[in-house]
Structure formats: structure tokens, C-alpha cells
Amino acid sequence: MNQPEPLFSSSRAFRVWRYGVEHSELVLRTDDNPDEPVELLFEGVLSMRFDQLWFTGLVVGRAEDQVLQSPTVDIPHLKIELGSTGHAAQVVCRRLTCVGGTSPDGKILWTVTAPRPKSRIAADIPAVEQA
């Protein structure tokens, strides 16, 4: 297995701030300076695994993408690994955004998005012939 591609690291303390089932959104937020928050917004969350809900210092990396397969479409998802000393977590999602401030009013610092879904039957659809 390949090492995750480094995306972000911080010495600040982060914790799980919010998870919304209806929009499949997870937010991690810094908890050490309320005047200068930083958020990590995970959208289209497919799964998550945490051994604890806070991180003192945080390293974020992108591992190999996971693909959700149906009979008609392959939907790639980001596999994001989170870590701090002695603790680890994993989130599988469609998009990860780092926000300086709080979402939706903060400044977007960077975004990583999974590739577009691919049809599994497109090759089986005959091309339309021109007359």
C-alpha cells in the first residue's frame, strides 16, 4: 500500500465539531483559538472511523481513492487519513475543503475533490450514426 499524499498539517488542536446525516457532512474545527478557527469540511461522507474525536496536532493525507460500484456507474471517493500522535482516523468522502474561519462564510484555503463518476455501460451504448 502506498503512503498517503500529504495534504495538510497543523500543530493546532482539532475536534469533531458537527456531523449532518441529511447532507452527509462532517466538520472538524480547531478548538484552541475561537478568534481564528480553521475547519475541515468533508462532503458526501460515505464512511468514517475514529479512535477518538479530537486531535492535538493534525496530519491529513489522501490515500488511494475508493470506488463505490453499482451495476451502471463507478463513483470514486477520496480516502482521507487523519492522524496525530498515537491516534488515527479515516474518512471516505467526495470532497474535502479547508476553510479559514467557519463555513460557509470563511475563506476557502484549498479543496480536494474526487474524480467524476464513470458510467459502466457507456461502452455498451452504440454511437448514433449520421445519415
Kindly report the backbone phi and psi dihedral angles of residue 128, in degrees, each rounded to the nearest multiple of 5, phi listed first. -80, 130
Radius of gyration (Cα) for the chain, nearest Å? 18
Predicted confidence (pLDDT) at residue 1 exceeds the cutoff of 90: no
Asked if residues 40 and 60 have their Cβ atoms less than 8 Å apart, the reply is yes
- Choose the weakest-confidence range: 21-25, 51-55, 116-120, 125-129: 125-129
What is 13-34 written as a DSSP string? EEEEEEEETTTTEEEEEE-S-T
Digit-coded pLDDT (tens) for 63-100? 999 999 988 899 999 999 999 988 999 999 999 999 99
Say what the pLDDT of residue 16 is: 95
Model confidence pLDDT, tens digit, residues 20-30: 988 899 999 99
pTM: 0.86
Tell me what pLDDT residue 24 has.
94
- The pLDDT score that the predictor gives to residue 123 is 56
pLDDT at 127: 52
